[in-house]
Amino acid sequence: MSIMSCQNCGAKNRVEARGPGVKPVCGRCGAELPAADSHPVTLTDSTLGSALANAGARPVLVDCWAEWCGPCRALAPILESLAAESAGRYVVAKLDIDSNPRTAAQYGVQSIPTLLIFKNGALVDQMVGLQSKAAIQARLRAHV
């Protein structure tokens, strides 16, 4: 089970994993909620805090990237795969550092790609540079 905020009205909704084709809807306004964790979530300076709070005790993997970065583009399919396989155990997110310099500065991101792992809203691990899927999975497993 995960908690998702409705993008339409902001209400928090408990979402349980269901079979294929079943789409969750907001309990307040009835708007369709995005499929839980099937793709990386896009974060900004202003949405990072709420995303960390909504994740609860689940780890949040944040990819600090930029469009012009070759290694960042090479990492993208790995992150898509991790998000699809997460089954609600963790959240995968992306943060474009060119558009969100405040968060990059706050966490000392000086090289990209940088992967930040948060748990209970606090930074618990960091990986710099292009990483293999197995290496990322091992770091996530330590925090699940």
Q: Where is 141: in which H helix or E strand?
A: helix 133-141
Angle value at C-alpha 50, between 105 and 14, nearest 5 degrees: 150
Query: Which amino acid, one-letter code, is at 62?
Result: V
CA dihedral 39, 53, 55, 20 (to 10 degrees): -60
The three-class DSSP label of residue 68 is coil
Measured CA distances, 39 to 10, 24, 27, 51, 111 (Å): 20, 15, 22, 14, 24
β-strand partners of 14? 3
User: Which residues does the annotation mark as catalytic?
Assistant: 69, 72
Pull the structure tokens for residue 116. 């930040």
